[in-house]
Amino acid sequence: MVKTIIDELSVKKKISQQSFRGTAAGVWVKNKNEATNIKGQFLGGLLDFGMGSLGGVGTVYLLSKTGRDSLVTKGLLSGITMGSFITFALGALPQNTVRPKDAASNLSYMVSHAAYGMVTTFIAAKLGDSSLFDIKPVNNYLQPTVSTSEQIKTKARSIPIIPNHHYSKRG
């Protein structure tokens, strides 16, 4: 959503020649008119959604391996990396005659991809299940020093609570 808003603003402000959806639709359609009509925009939106979904999986994998710290850096890294790959792939395909060749359009795509990466990273880190980010043991010989979220849940359930029992009584 954030990516699309930035993309649309850059088109309206005449920073970008066309929306990223139009560029993505250019892979499957013959000319710019087809890429910019409602069907072409929907087609490009589907490609953008699919690539964004793959980027989200990659972002969660990155966070699960490297932790939930430095979210801005990791978000920018994942967004720009995914955006660079997508933009390169779309531009390199010979059948895509709709791709923009100017720096401003491609820079606006990178800004929208960076924003996508940051939003995706923050959402995954803050709303993702804690078991996604558990520390995996390095080997089977050393005991881990940090409990996993499953171990913490199990310990919390196994502590017996005796009603009206005073644990601090000395007698």
d(CA 18, CA 35) in angstroms, rounded, equals 10
Residue 165 in domain: no
Residue 32 in domain: yes
Residue linked to tokens 């804690």: 130
Query: 38-66 and 103-127 helices cross at what angle (nearest 10)?
Result: 50
Count of domains forming the chain: 1
- Looking at residue 15, its pLDDT comes to 84
Residue 169 in domain: no
- Looking at residue 25, its pLDDT comes to 78
- Looking at residue 145, its pLDDT comes to 67
pLDDT, averaged per 10 consecutive residues of the chain (171 residues), comes to 79 81 78 82 86 89 86 92 82 70 81 91 89 69 67 66 55 49
Instruction: Please tell me the chain's helix, strand, coil percentages from 3-state DSSP, rounded to the nearest 5.
Output: 65, 0, 35
Range of the domain at 43: 2-158
Q: Please state, in angstroms and as integers, the Cα–Cα distance from residue 155 to each residue in 27, 31, 64, 148, 151, following that order.
A: 54, 62, 23, 11, 6
Residue 19 in domain: yes
- Looking at residue 123, its pLDDT comes to 92
- pTM score > 0.75 for this model? no
- Looking at residue 118, its pLDDT comes to 93
Residue 68 in domain: yes
- Looking at residue 135, its pLDDT comes to 66
Residue 10 in domain: yes
Residue 164 in domain: no
- Looking at residue 168, its pLDDT comes to 53
Residue 9 in domain: yes
Q: Which residues touch 168 (CB under 8 Å, ≥6 apart)?
A: none
